[in-house]
Structure 1
Amino acid sequence: MVLVTAAALAVALAVAVAVFALTQRSSSDTAGPLPLVPVPAPAAASPGCTTLLAAVPTELTSNGTSLKVRTLADPAPPATVAWGTDDPLVLRCGLNRPPELTPTAALRLVNKVQWLQVPGEGASTWYVVDREVYAALTVPDSAGTGPLQQISDTIAAKLAPRPLRFS
């Protein structure tokens, strides 16, 4: 149990650092590839992640603005894609089960996909919790609901729903 808690805390810390780094970028920093910190993603090479990442759109719409796929700096984290420049959105696949996922957690159903929202500083990370792999979409607070809906559509089309897992 201690090992599981320690691993969950390590993932949470890595996600928090990534969100902080993403929200602290200035416009002048966005010309080149986007550097992202790696987070544990033990299922990043799974068939579910391969299927999902091959199907994600090359553009997302946020508050009427088109966000194009962003090049990631080397070494890029596995099974990760980002969109936009100033406040990029980041999708990671193959993550561990989020520790916040409990039988009493508040989930949101978006276009047939169940999400768990984990608020952060300036952004929220939304975890897909009802598919064969856990994926997370980190979205700046300034973004609209369009990206979450678009990614939900892709997930619903490519990955079959599964019962929730709490352990």
Structure 2
Amino acid sequence: MNIFRHRPYGLPALAALMIAAAGCSSADDAPSAAVPSPGAAAVRLCDRLDRVLPTKVDKLGRRDPEPASALTAGWGDDPAIILRCGVSRPARMADPEADGVEVNGVGWLLEQRADHSFRFTTTLRKAYVEVTIPAGRTGDGMAPLVSLAPAVKRAVPEGIAD
């Protein structure tokens, strides 16, 4: 007769740990974006923009970055197209040689970054809206701006941001 019994003390704890880890892993692959901290007027405009943003941009479904905020939005997976509303005025806007484009009635400052991504920031709007198109998604040019321009026009009036 064997007097030693093997009791699975560790198995319930291990199972609970595995269940907890599985529940947490889904957010780990979400895109991330720094949340701007604009004034109250820009926050109201950005809130309006968030409500009218398209569900798809350049055929990519909306997938907002972490941390969740009405000031940020995203489309696609890694690399995601990221929109941030209420950003500060880019210093490059003061440069008379800066590149700009107009897409469907919305003016944008164009900046190519060292990593070959593009950053576009609205011009002559009451709040600055920034859209970053990662290098892996630049093949379609400014197609994301075509999708976003109607929402920007509807939610953020023309003018000079504070």
Give the structure-2-normalised TM-score: 0.69
Structure 2 gap ranges (5+): 1-25
* Counterpart mapping for 1:1-167 below 5 A: 32-36=29-33, 38=34, 40-43=36-39, 46-61=43-58, 66-73=59-66, 75-76=67-68, 79-102=71-94, 104=96, 105-120=98-113, 121-141=115-135, 142-143=137-138, 144=140, 145-163=142-160
Cα RMSD over matched residues? 2.6
The more displaced of 154-163 and 107-116 is 154-163
Q: Which amino acid in 2 is paired with 1:110?
A: V
In the alignment, residue 153 of structure 2 is paired with which amino acid? A
| Structure index of larger Rg | 2
TM-score, with length taken from structure 1: 0.68
Q: Distance in 2 between matches of 1:160 and 1:117?
A: 20
Q: CA deviation at 1:79?
A: 0.5
Question: Shift of the alpha carbon at 1:150?
Answer: 1.1
Which runs of 4 or more aligned residues in structure 1 lie more than 4 Å from their structure 2 counterparts after TM superposition? none
Unmatched tracts of structure 1, length 5 or more: 1-28
SS at match of 2:144: helix
Is the 8 Å Cα contact of residues 35 and 76 (structure 1) preserved in structure 2?
no
How far off its partner does 1:78 sit?
5.5
1:91 touches 1:137 (CA, 8 Å); kept in 2? yes
Quote the sequence identity (%). Answer: 27
